[in-house]
Amino acid sequence: MTYKFEFRPLARKFLRSLTTSHGNWDIRESIIIRLIDDAARMGFGEIAPISWFGSETLTQALDFCHQLPQEITAKEIFTIPDDLPACQFGFESALEELATKGNNQCPMPHAQCPMPNAPCPMPHYSALLPAKQGALNAWQNLWEEGYRTFKWKIGVDAIAQELAIFDLLIRSLPDTAKLRLDANGGLNYSEAQLWLENCDKFSEKMEFIEQPLAVAEFAGMLQLSQMYKTAIALDESVATIAQLKAAYQQGWRGIFVIKPAIAGSPSKLRQFCRQYNIDAVFSSVFETAIGRKAALQLAAELSQHNRALGFGTNHWFEQQEDTWLESLW
């Protein structure tokens, strides 16, 4: 079976600049791909790399798409090299969409479904707050919309300033709220200790700190994960499936953030997660509805510990009408 292959680059501007310890991000670029089979059925996929996270660059992904023929096979898709993880995700999820067309089954294994006779309950999402003091008056509307878990970026401003805002933020959040902090690898060891000490004072509301130290500081994070009540989640350190495996083999039993859109091949990700019962938090890379659907499908299948999904990110973009995809072709 061969598939007709087409692709379209896409750029979307954030409503406000997204600030992380890696810098400011203003435009999310990605590539939408379309496969068409012999029966004229279509499968869509999205390639949404983040090179500062360790995936390929957008240019490398575009080059890969340009060199492909207009007709491709499943074999070509399953042999996309591991140094193009966002391409592996985009192509495999387009193929999966075709394979499951007309088969709208719930991806949750029946034995695990809490409500086997009812429509699937909404998975709960974590809402991404703006960095710095912007968080202080952003969470209320999101709370009204039903979010109960929030994530705030740290390591973007002076630590004293951020600790003061953290104190205000966590005290103002209702008792049933949960807070995640994400340093994007921007702290040093002693700063991370200071953060963890402060988080431990609010352990009933603190869920975890994500990637406190740089990727090279794995041993430091392993050590910190055994010293405080507040849990640590690895993110940049486990961006791809190869990194997930390496962290597990080096003894990481804390939380793993999985961004399916850059992790690599969905079929290999399934294999890994099913083999090792890891505590995974699934997370968005600001993909469109196309990549999001495939990523959420994997999250529904592989999420084990009832963690909120890091997909509460739609408020970072202008709401799109559902006709945008047709405008690409």
Ligand X SMILES: O=C(O)CCC(=O)c1ccccc1C(=O)O
Q: Which positions are catalytic?
A: 153, 259
Q: Is 243 in the site for ligand X (CB under 6 A)?
A: no
Q: Is the distance from CB of 126 to CB of 102 less than 8 angstroms?
A: no
Q: Is 232 helix (H, G, I), strand (E, B) or coil?
A: strand
In the complex, least distance from residue 281 CB atom to ligand X, rounded to whole angstroms = 7
Q: Find out whether 235 is annotated in a ligand binding site.
A: yes
- Say whether residue 283 binds ligand X (CB under 6 A): yes
- The crossing angle, in degrees rounded to 10, of helices 289-302 and 266-275 is 20
The residue whose Cβ lies closest to ligand X is 310
Judged by CB under 6 A, the stretch of 61-69, 85-93, 277-285, 319-327 that binds ligand X is 277-285
- Mark the segment that binds ligand X (CB under 6 A) among 57-65, 107-115, 238-246, 278-286: 278-286
What is the layout of strands, in order, in the sheet containing 42-47?
Answer: 42-47, 23-36, 2-20, 71-73
Residue labelled with tokens 């050590």: 223
* DSSP, residue by residue, 240-259: SHHHHHHHHHTT--SEEEE-
Residue 83, annotated as binding a ligand: no
Cβ neighbours around 156 below 10 Å, total:
18
Among 225, 284, 288, 297, binds ligand X (CB under 6 A): 284
Token pair listed for 174: 């209702």
Q: From the list ligand X, Mg ion, none, which binds 151 (C-beta under 5 to 8 Å, kind-based)?
A: ligand X
**Ranges within 165-204 binding Mg ion (CB under 5 A):** 182
Q: Where are the alpha helices (DSSP H) in the chain?
A: 58-67, 74-78, 85-99, 139-144, 159-172, 189-200, 218-224, 241-249, 260-263, 266-275, 289-302
Q: Which of 35, 50, 179, 255 binds ligand X (CB under 6 A)?
A: 50
Cβ proximity to ligand X, 224 vs 308, nearer residue:
308
Residues 140-159 touching ligand X, rule: CB under 6 A, are 151
The response to whether 207 counts as a known ligand-binding position is no
- Give dist(CA 61, CA 252) in Å, integer: 31
Q: Residue numbers of the site for Mg ion (CB under 5 A)?
A: 182, 210, 235
Binding site for ligand X (CB under 6 A): 50, 126, 128, 151, 182, 184, 235, 283-286, 310, 313
List, as residue ranges, the binding site for Mg(2+): 182, 210, 235
